Amino acid sequence: MYGPLDMVTLTGEKVDIHIMTQPPSGEWVYFDTEVTNSSGRVSYTIPEQRRLGIGVYPVKMVVRGDHTYADSYITVLPRGTEFVVFSIDGSFAASVSIMGSDPKVRAGAVDVVRHWQELGYLIIYVTGRPDMQKQRVVAWLAQHNFPHGIVSFCDGLVHDPLRHKANFLKSLVTDLDMKIHAAYGSTKDVSVYTSINLSPPQIYIVGRSTKKLQNQCQVRSFLL
């Protein structure tokens, strides 16, 4: 298996793309083969004639040379889907980073996410962390029983992760006509949420706020 720093090793490798078109127990369907770029990445656009319906589809990308693979998901949503955003960094964990040895979850965090999910909103988790940390972060969320949702990472190491968060959310709103109902995060996320025109009643900051931010958000301890 390749580690997070082995991506260059994957340069110029053929990768077979398989999608389970009838989840959860359907067969894997081969879609195409792509060649990795100099960063060990592949990109693929599903052709119009094979477009998937609304749902969540498992994806398996297999390196043809040594048969190692990466698992992921494609989520197909109707336009106008409403969602609630949760910034992972500095808000879910009681410590600053979730990359330590299983840091304690902030009290009430899981209950708040579950509350919005039960109301019918799509859950989207965003983080400024690189996608090479995906497996560890997703495992931490699952270990602590956070509800399933879409998780967005940065494409590798970026100089401005907050801008990456803002651009991702902006693309959901402008390109896919999705609607943000509420957004949770730490104080550093206020600028992200205000940049995409969220109003103060929609922005929930976990922990302590400052006088400067009092008119831009609502402060919560994560307890409803």
N-to-C CA span, the chain: 43
- In percent, how much of the chain has pLDDT > 70? 86
CA dist., res. 192 & res. 167, Å (int): 9
In a domain, 143, yes or no: yes
Q: Tens digits of per-residue pLDDT, 178-205?
A: 999 999 988 888 989 999 999 999 999 8
| Three-class secondary structure of residue 132 per DSSP | helix
Helix (H, G, I), strand (E, B) or coil at 159: coil
Residue 178 gets the label, from left (phi > 0), alpha (psi -120 to 50) or beta, of: beta
Tell whether 18 and 98 lie within a shared domain. Answer: no
Host domain of residue 176: 82-220
Q: Per the domain annotation, does 190 fall within a domain?
A: yes
Question: Which is more confident, 135 or 15?
Answer: 15
Summarize pLDDT for 85-126 with one digit per residue, the tens: 998 876 776 554 545 556 678 888 899 999 999 999 999 999
Structure-token pair, residue 190? 């206020």
The single residue listed with the structure tokens 């943000």 is 180
pLDDT for the residue 134: 78
For residue 133, the tally of other CB atoms under 10 A from its CB is: 16
Structural domain contains residue 2: no
Strands across the sheet with 150-154, in order?
150-154, 122-130, 82-87, 179-185, 203-206, 218-220
Which of 160, 94, 150 is closest to 130 using CA atoms? 160
Which of 104 and 67 is assigned the larger pLDDT?
67
What are φ and ψ of residue 151, in 5° steps? -120, 125
Residue 37: CB atoms within 10 A of its CB come to: 13
Both 172 and 106 in one domain: the answer is yes
Quote the pTM value: 0.81
Q: What is the pLDDT of residue 62?
A: 96
pLDDT, residue 64, reads 93
**Residue 173 confidence (pLDDT) above 70:** yes
* Whether residue 24 has pLDDT greater than 70: yes
Say which residue, 178 or 224, is predicted with more confidence.
178
User: Looking at the domain assignment, is residue 7 inside a domain?
Assistant: no
Same domain for 125 and 21, yes or no, is: no
Helical residues (DSSP H) of the chain, grouped into ranges? 109-118, 134-143, 161-176, 190-195
Q: Considering 35, 56, 76, which residue would you say is the last residue of a domain?
A: 76
Backbone dihedral angles phi then psi of residue 97, each to the nearest 5 degrees: -120, 145
Q: How many CB atoms lie within 10 A of CB 161?
A: 19
Give me the mean pLDDT over the 143-163 stretch: 83
Instruction: With a cut of 60, say whether residue 71 has pLDDT above it.
Output: yes
